[in-house]
């Protein structure tokens, strides 16, 4: 079939999602939200500077740590 496109089914994508705590902007016109683990201590919207409130979303997990890369031997410098 020419130009076919594989689309993931909704069950495939939903299996990878986990309930995640977020901070969501209270302003109805603003769509900003931040994962709880990345939120600042002062809960102000990063876009409109309005107040934010806690909420939940089903999101894919995030790896917080950078993967360690193998060290190059000193002879490569």
Per-residue pLDDT tens over the stretch 7-48:
555 555 567 899 999 999 999 999 999 999 988 888 899 999
> Token pair for residue 23?
């901070």
If residue 18 lies in a helix (H) or strand (E), which one and from where to where?
Answer: strand 18-25
Is 35 within the bounds of a domain?
yes
Give the C-alpha separation, 48 to 27, whole Å.
8
Domain hosting residue 37, numbered range:
18-59
Q: Is residue 67 part of a domain?
A: no
Least confident of 7-16, 34-43, 49-58, 61-70: 7-16
Encoded tokens for 19: 């309930």
pTM equals 0.61
Work out how many domains the chain is built from and give that number: 1
Task: Please report which confidence band the pLDDT of residue 1 belongs to, taking 50, 70 and 90 as the band edges.
Answer: very low
Which of the pair, 13 or 74, is modelled with greater confidence? Answer: 74
């Amino acid at each position: 079939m020419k130009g076919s496109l594989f689309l993931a089914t909704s069950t495939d994508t939903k299996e990878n999602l986990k309930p995640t705590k977020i901070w969501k902007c209270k302003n109805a016109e603003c769509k900003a939200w931040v994962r709880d683990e990345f939120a600042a201590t002062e809960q102000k919207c990063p876009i409109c500077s309005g107040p934010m409130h806690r909420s939940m979303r089903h999101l894919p997990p995030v790896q917080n740590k950078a993967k360690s890369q193998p060290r190059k031997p000193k002879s490569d410098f």
